[in-house]
Structure 1
């Protein structure tokens, strides 16, 4: 086998591979001989079809099959011979596929970069310093009570937070415009669903009251024909409803996974969950800063576009599934969720993956089994039957490897954190949670 290699640009390589004709022809003959034993053709006894006839009838198809396999295997042999690490699948361009002549093709592909870790010592990290207070627990429980509450009609003027049932008709220059009318529409005041000024205009109106609102659509409104348009809405309030908070009882507790009617136990469970969320948010914020510093120090590291494309595709499918997509088979996901939505984050993930892999290899890090167990136990603690969940993780190799990968990544982050200057930044529980969410979205 003859192999020549060319660097076309950056990480792209071009291999020209030549395979002796004998290798292909011999394999074609071997397969025809094997197939001959079972071939039945009119005029010939089973197993007695002449090779000349076998070549005429089946030679082209068998050769095509052999060519594909030989190119695949010879490519693998070639990259091993040249000590290359392909990133992604190659593009194969046949040069010569003629029978009786040496097979020749060109394979174009990217390779993994050589990663050399730079010194990142001295970078700064601000660790959120927050705690879960009784007030924080009260606020979360209040959210739960609102979520499980009920709307009751009241005979008074509407105020922010109420839900109103309205009829409305919008006109522009005296003429109704598309999408500007509705009957029996439910609207929660303060939700910001309607054009600015609409909800403010309804606040203070009582059931049965009618009113005209002169408003202007924003210049950046999603419907171009209404951008900056002056309009008028005729509004009638049919009813006003007030949210009645759900009582602190067994039904509410059960809705959030706590059995019994003990309010103290419910509060303790809520507080424990909040502590877990705070811990995760703090870790996410710290990890983000470590990763940012690592990327900044290796800004010049070139990454294979093939790996970015793979990451983009994975992120696209994940987003589709998160939004309730059952099957992507008959949908053009690239049009619905174009590459540009994910390209920057995908490039960041790929580069971090390469850098962390090198760090883990260089420092010979291994996932700590005790930490893996702890991670799984924490995941399982949110379920009613934790032991079953733990057994499921340890019985599912793919899920177990995912947890081990996370633990290993956390250990790599901690190794880098030892080189950082860490300070605490006092903040509230909600501020820490917000910082963690921002970090997870990067």
Structure 2
């Protein structure tokens, strides 16, 4: 039996569960007898071990299992009878019983919140859109050319020219020897031979690059270099060193021409530059569409959170914080980082976890109230859309349909898209045009 439910807070509840001690003992004896039929012990045939020996070996675990089962069943029955929507798992603690023949436990738990989603017609949402113009295609071609750059000795005539005057300039690849000293003493990491870098890429400190500019092969230069206070090398951070640099090799960058050979290198079999540009445009438009969809989905989710007031079960936040901590640990480990001694306190993930839980509750209610579940046709269409960018679309379909968890991931994506479309169809929506570079986070110029 269970007592009346006590309200401890907005979502926290408590009830006491009691049942006869004799019920537990009867069940324990029943399970011990069943265990005795297969129990083994030295000097006894299987199934002939004395019940006292079986009880000594298995009694504690069996009694624990029986208590867990009885408490769990009693709690679930009480929750159903009181129409409680329990969030997470209850905290169960033993309690002194008023009757010696009874066992009592106190269950403290949280319930799901009751909330109302605001009238969506009064919700303002700003979405974005972006276009792919010839300028974006040109930028992408420039990036692809830079990825295929090759270098020639500067000042030496060749098939592509000599690269101009043989002095180090921005864009050139240089090979240098250098030595650094602080107060006349060389320091670890301050010396290198045949060190190679491209001027203007920012790999070296500004003073280092500035000193290299204008040098010819064989020339040396000594210059002061002040390390920033936040420099990664703690031994030299905030200090000034004297460096001597010698230019050993100077090469200029030759970018491939945008011709048939270049187009072929990008998979255009006949080398048609027009087809190449069309292919690049299709890929850029697919990327833009994906990023626009992600931005607009985030705008919808932000609007739903802002428009819905609710109390979030703390137990669900804690559980999701733990999941996020473990995911972060696993991700870092897969990248080759040693995380064995790194702390991952769940408190660091609490804010993100609360938003995730809050959104999950909102989406669940929206889906249930408006029948927005993912259909099999929508799931198949989503997978087929993914498959378009792969050489063998059939293998992509097989990959997802052969694993229920993978299929569940697609269903979740479709469900979210259904929610987004539903909300956008109800809310007050304005659309803002954003520049390609802004949408892409300037990655297009990387």
TM-score, length-scaled by structure 1: 0.83
CA shift at 1:146, angstroms?
Answer: 2.0
Instruction: Give the Cα–Cα distance (whole angstroms) in 2 for the partners of residues 422 and 117 of structure 1.
Output: 18
Instruction: Give the Cα–Cα distance (whole angstroms) in 2 for the partners of residues 368 and 53 of structure 1.
Output: 57
Are the counterparts in 1 of residues 38 and 47 from structure 2 also a CA contact under 8 Å? Answer: yes
Query: Residue 361 of structure 1 aligns with which residue?
Result: 368
For 1:415, which of 422, 431, 436 is the aligned residue? 422
For 1:400, which of 388, 403, 407 is the aligned residue? 407
Residues 71 and 419 (structure 1), Cα distance of their counterparts in 2 relative to 1, 3 Å cut: same
Unaligned runs of 5+ in 1: 438-442
Q: 1:88-113: CA deviations, max 9, x gaps?
A: 3344434479xx96443334443322
CA shift at 1:160, angstroms?
Answer: 2.4
Unaligned runs of 5+ in 2: 156-165
1:345 equivalenced with 2:355 (yes/no): no
| 1:31-430 pair list within 5 angstroms | 31-41=31-41, 47-95=47-95, 102-155=102-155, 156-223=166-233, 226-246=236-256, 261-298=271-308, 300-319=309-328, 325=334, 331-332=339-340, 335=343, 338-339=345-346, 342-430=349-437
Q: How many residues align?
A: 432
1:432 equivalenced with 2:442 (yes/no): no
Instruction: Give the Cα–Cα distance (whole angstroms) in 1 for the partners of residues 18 and 269 of structure 2.
Output: 71
CA shift at 1:42, angstroms?
Answer: 6.2
Are the counterparts in 2 of residues 281 and 436 from structure 1 also a CA contact under 8 Å? Answer: no
CA shift at 1:354, angstroms?
Answer: 1.4
CA RMSD of aligned residues (A): 3.5
CA shift at 1:267, angstroms?
Answer: 2.7
Residues 250 and 112 (structure 1), Cα distance of their counterparts in 2 relative to 1, 3 Å cut: farther
Instruction: Give the Cα–Cα distance (whole angstroms) in 2 for the partners of residues 258 and 108 of structure 1.
Output: 66
Instruction: Give the Cα–Cα distance (whole angstroms) in 1 for the partners of residues 362 and 181 of structure 2.
Output: 59
CA shift at 1:347, angstroms?
Answer: 2.4
Aligned partner of residue 181 in structure 2, secondary structure: strand
Residues 385 and 350 (structure 1), Cα distance of their counterparts in 2 relative to 1, 3 Å cut: same
Query: Residue 440 of structure 1 aligns with which residue?
Result: none
Are the counterparts in 2 of residues 285 and 435 from structure 1 also a CA contact under 8 Å? Answer: no
Are the counterparts in 1 of residues 175 and 247 from structure 2 also a CA contact under 8 Å? Answer: yes
CA shift at 1:138, angstroms?
Answer: 2.2
Query: Residue 17 of structure 1 aligns with which residue?
Result: 17
CA shift at 1:295, angstroms?
Answer: 1.7
Residues 248 and 111 (structure 1), Cα distance of their counterparts in 2 relative to 1, 3 Å cut: farther
Q: 1:260-287: CA deviations, max 9, x gaps?
A: 6444333322211111111111222222
Residues 431 and 56 (structure 1), Cα distance of their counterparts in 2 relative to 1, 3 Å cut: closer
**Worse overlay, 198-207 or 352-361:** 198-207
Residues 31 and 324 (structure 1), Cα distance of their counterparts in 2 relative to 1, 3 Å cut: closer
Q: 1:188-215: CA deviations, max 9, x gaps?
A: 3233233343223322323322222323
Aligned partner of residue 197 in structure 1, secondary structure: helix
Residues 313 and 252 (structure 1), Cα distance of their counterparts in 2 relative to 1, 3 Å cut: farther
Instruction: Give the Cα–Cα distance (whole angstroms) in 1 for the partners of residues 105 and 142 of structure 2.
Output: 68
